[in-house]
Amino acid sequence: MCLAIPGRVLEIEELGPLRSARVQFGGIVRQVSLNFVPEALVGDFVMVHVGFAISRVDALEAERTFRILQEMGELEAEAPATDM
């Protein structure tokens, strides 16, 4: 139920007070409400839950933490194998 999926904002529409966007998830495009994330811009990734964006993915944070994780993986690949 609390599943939220990252999708990329393709196009933004203003419908009166309501703000919505066409958002791409892999090969699928859906209409998503941007009411809770009005700061999202075309090209941004947003986390979407039951048709509503609930956050804008912090690209810098994601990049930074992912690089740390990746380095960890690379170090591990060079280290002797562990039994898993």
Partner 1 sequence: MKYLDEYRDHRIARALVAEITSCVKHSWVLMEICGGQTHTIMRYGLSDVLPREVELVHGPGCPVCVTPLETVDKAIALALRPGVILVSYGDMLRVPGSRSDLLRAKAQGADVRIAYSPTGAVKIARANPDRQVVFLAIGFETTAPANAMAAWQAKHEGLSNFSMLVSHVLVPPAIRALLGTPNNRVQGFIAPGHVCTVMGCSEYEGLVRDFGMPIVVGGFEPVDILESVLMLIRQLEAGEAKLENQYVRSVSPQGNGRAREIVAEVFETADQKWRGIGRIPMSGLRLRGEYAAHDADRIFALSEITADEPAECISAQVLRGLKKPTDCAAFCVRCTPENPLGAPMVSSEGACAAYYHYRRHSVVSQEKSCP
Contact 9, 40 (CB under 8 A): yes
Residue 34 has what DSSP assignment? -
Residue 39 has what DSSP assignment? T
Q: How far is the CB of 7 from partner 1 (least distance, A)?
A: 8
SS3 60: helix
By CB under 8 A, the count of residues binding partner 1 is: 40
Q: Show contacts with partner 1 in window 12-71 (CB under 8 A).
A: 25-26, 33, 35-38, 45, 47, 49-52, 54-55, 57-59, 61-62, 65-66, 69-70
The two beta strands, 18-25 and 52-56, are unpaired
Q: Which two tokens stand for residue 17?
A: 């007070």
Residue 79 has what DSSP assignment? S
Q: Is there binding between residue 76 and partner 1 (CB under 8 A)?
A: yes
Residues that bind partner 1 (CB under 8 A): 1-6, 8, 25-26, 33, 35-38, 45, 47, 49-52, 54-55, 57-59, 61-62, 65-66, 69-70, 72-77, 79, 82, 84
